[in-house]
Amino acid sequence: MVIIRTDFSLKRFNTFGIDVKANRFADIFRESDIIEIRKQTASNEQILFLGSGSNILFTKNFNGVVIKNSIKGIEEKEFGEDEIIISAGGGTEWNDLVNYAASKNYWGIENLALIPGTVGAAPIQNIGAYGAELKDVFHSLEGYNFDSGEKIVFTKDECEFKYRWSIFKGELRNKFLIAKVNFVLNKKPSPNLTYGALRGELNRVSISELTPLLISETVSKIRRNKLPDPAKIGNAGSFFKNPKVKNEKFAELQNQFHNIPKFEFEQGGVKIPAAWLIEKCGFKGKRIGNVGTHKNQPLVIINFGETSGRRIQEFSVLVQKAVYEKFNILLDHEVNIY
């Protein structure tokens, strides 16, 4: 039976630690709960699917039903000689899946170690870090169209994965509940050391000594040293996406700002680290009241105390304006704002 709570505080359910309330809140533990909660939801009621709340900023009370995915579990299926399919329930903690794969010596998600959140939310923005993206190991996902109740399988192409984006962050936002995700992992060694910070940490280790466990532990160490732990200090990781600009626009910027960094992106375009742009506007480690940017990584906006989601949003607009005025680039927020 699904228990529905009313006038429910979401403070413990978002990593910014914002104290707003949901009109109704339900935690679901099995797929049959999805059918049950659908029956108890009016067709005009607002819906919000929630994982661990590590990519959400609440700016007001949620006037509708919040459905938290706690469907857990990991299963394996053979898939040819060198690959394995791992299926995980949408409510499984992402890092538990990374640790599981590393313990079995399966390659593919070790660079994505220590990303907070659930498996079911990982495809939403095609999580990425240290040179890897979820789409590189994605096989398919299963879930429910909440309007019709129909169970649907999505293949990789159907998810329309892009940089920090998928169809579920676009037209299917809060319309499709991801219940299970299937990944194809490699049993043969396939280390990805394209990312400088990771390569630097492992440069004394020979290729034959690399394991998924060593890489995931190294990524976790780098992350712990640089990023604030959301269990101790409220944040939702990178607040903005790295902007992509056309080569011509980059050439103009380079004339003015000679050391502006870039990474090749798609044909005809480059990605500029948003953190660099924000730092150049004087926002690294800047604090206004109980909101500010992190001292090591200005892309991360922090709740230093009992602040509101509105205050955080206002601060983010100041950052956006400063970057726009200096570089004529409009930063797009990565965090989902409600």
Using CA atoms, how far apart are residues 252 and 70, in angstroms rounded to an integer?
49
H or E stretch including 197? helix 196-201
3 state SS of 294:
coil
The residue behind tokens 């936002």 is 173
Minimum Å gap between C-beta 301 and ligand FAD is: 11
Q: Which stretch binds ligand NAP (CB under 6 A): 6-14, 87-95, 179-187, 188-196?
A: 188-196
Task: List, by residue number, the catalytic residues.
Answer: 164, 238, 334
Which one of 69, 238, 303, 313 is in contact with ligand NAP (CB under 6 A)?
A: 238
Asked whether 144 and 152 are in contact (CB, 8 A), the reply is yes
Q: Which stretch binds ligand FAD (CB under 6 A): 95-103, 126-134, 192-200, 213-221?
A: 126-134
User: What is each CA distance from 202 to 9, 140, 206, 209, in whole angstroms?
Assistant: 44, 32, 8, 10
Q: Which does 124 bind (CB under 5 to 8 A by kind): ligand FAD, ligand NAP, none?
A: ligand FAD
* 167-226 binders of ligand FAD (CB under 6 A): 168, 174, 177-178
Using CA atoms, how far apart are residues 43 and 9, in angstroms rounded to an integer?
24
* By CB under 6 A, residue 295 contacts ligand NAP: no
3 state SS of 144:
strand
Which one of 226, 287, 295, 310 is in contact with ligand NAP (CB under 6 A)?
A: 226
* By CB under 6 A, residue 55 contacts ligand FAD: yes
Which one of 275, 281, 301, 312 is in contact with ligand NAP (CB under 6 A)?
A: 275
**Count of other CB atoms within 10 angstroms of residue 103:** 11
Minimum Å gap between C-beta 154 and ligand FAD is: 11
Q: Which does 120 bind (CB under 5 to 8 A by kind): ligand NAP, ligand FAD, none?
A: ligand FAD
User: What is each CA distance from 20 to 9, 44, 71, 139, 228, in whole angstroms?
Assistant: 6, 21, 24, 36, 22
Pick 131 or 269: Cβ nearer ligand FAD: 131
Which one of 17, 91, 143, 237 is in contact with ligand NAP (CB under 6 A)?
A: 237
Minimum Å gap between C-beta 116 and ligand FAD is: 4
User: What is each CA distance from 275 to 212, 265, 298, 322, in whole angstroms?
Assistant: 29, 17, 6, 13
Which 3-state string (H, E, C) describes 8-54? EECHHHCCCCCCCEEEEEEEECCHHHHHHHHHCCCCCCEEEEECCCC
Asked whether 18 and 7 are in contact (CB, 8 A), the reply is no
* By CB under 6 A, residue 95 contacts ligand NAP: no
Q: Which stretch binds ligand FAD (CB under 6 A): 44-52, 72-80, 152-160, 284-292?
A: 44-52
Q: Where does this chain bind ligand NAP (CB under 6 A)?
A: 128-131, 194-197, 226-227, 237-238, 242, 263, 273, 275, 297, 334
